[in-house]
Every structure is written in C-alpha cells, then in structure tokens.
Amino acid sequence: MVLSLYAKGLTTGEISAHFAEIYGASVSTETVSRITDRVLEEMAAWQNRPLDEVYAAIFIDAIVVKVRDGQVANRPIYAAIGVTLEGEKDILGLWAGTGGEGAKFWMSVLTDIKNRGVKDTFFLVCDGLKGLPEVVTNVWPLTTVQTCIIHYADLRIMPMWPRDPLRCRGLVLARSA
C-alpha cells in the first residue's frame, strides 16, 4: 500500500496521514521513507546488474506514460528486452526519458547495456526511428537491425519472404500477391 501511494505521487507525510485517517494506524514518515528507500535500493541494484555476454535478440521500444513530477506530463519510458541463447526473455532495463523518443537517447541506453556486459546480439528489433540503425552499428557492429512488423506503416513495403513457400514450425508461409 505504501508503495502504491508513493507511486501515485503522495509525500511521506501524506501517506502517514492517509494511514491514520483510513486505517487508524500510526505509521511515521520515517517508516514510510525506510520502506521506499529499500525498494529504490533494490531497483538500483536490479538496474545495474550484470547481463549475459550474448543475446539472440534484443527488442527495444519506448512507450509514453503520464508521470507526476510536480505536475502531470507525458514522458517516454525506454524498454529493452533480451532473448537469451536459451530462449528465455530478460528485461534488460527501463529508462525514463525527458522528451520524445530519439536516437541520441537510445545510444545512451544501448551503451549502458553494453557496459553491463553485453558484447553482442544477433538481432536488434526496433521501430523505424531515423538514425537508430546507425546507433546500433556503433554499439554492436555485427548486429542485424530488424524493423518490427508492428512498426511498418505500410505493410506493402515490408520485406517479404522469397516467392517459394517457406516452412516455419510446420506452417507454410507464402508471400501474398
């Protein structure tokens, strides 16, 4: 409950007052601070943990969320999800941006991932953001950059398979005319 109220932007004093008013419980502001500080420490440890040296694929994208920091504002949250060589998904990190999604910020994110131990990834799947393929090549020169199918504005220009059917896990996929 403390974390939920804190995430909604309430101060430690407001959280303490809420517990007194709603539950008749006395929770000091110091206790609330200790709880939130502990979670922040664990989050920092998770965000700085070492990562695998190689990933089969890394998916990156940003989502815009409303954040209260004095006032409510739209801010991008940059997410990176890796697929290990064993096929397991691993959230590599989440980063809060200040403006719109941009290649410059992605450069700092990918550099952070590399500094945490990722030496290479076979594929990096992303949207069609201008400058992003060059950023990826600067960080991991041998990585293949693949635009996510969801981000193709016009599916008619999406790269397709060869004209011959392609077998994939028992399915026959063919290029539509």
Per residue in 40-75, pLDDT (tens digit) is: 888 889 999 999 999 999 999 988 888 777 777 888
Q: What is the dihedral of CA 36, 41, 46, 48, to 10 degrees?
A: 140
Quick one: tokens of 78? 């940059």
| Pair 67, 41 in one domain | no
Work out the average pLDDT over 85-108.
88
Residue 60 inside a domain? The answer is: yes
| 43 and 81, same domain (yes or no) | no
Residue 68 sits in the same domain as residue 26: no
Residue 168 lies in a domain: no
Q: How many C-beta atoms lie closer than 10 Å to residue 85's C-beta?
A: 11
Q: How confident is the model at residue 172 (pLDDT cuts 50, 70, 90)?
A: very low
Other beta carbons within 10 angstroms of residue 126's beta carbon come to 22
Tally of domains in the chain: 2
| pLDDT tens profile 98-129 | 776 778 889 999 999 999 999 999 999 998 78
The model's pLDDT over 12-49, given as tens digits with 9 standing for 90+, comes to: 888 888 888 888 888 888 988 888 888 888 888 999 99
Is 62 in a helix, a strand, or coil? strand
Q: How far apart are CA 75 and CA 97, in angstroms?
A: 6
The answer to whether residue 166 is domain-embedded is no
Check whether residue 35 and residue 80 sit in a common domain: no
CATH number, domain with residue 82: 3.30.420.10
Residue 38 belongs to domain spanning: 2-47
Same domain, 27 and 102: no
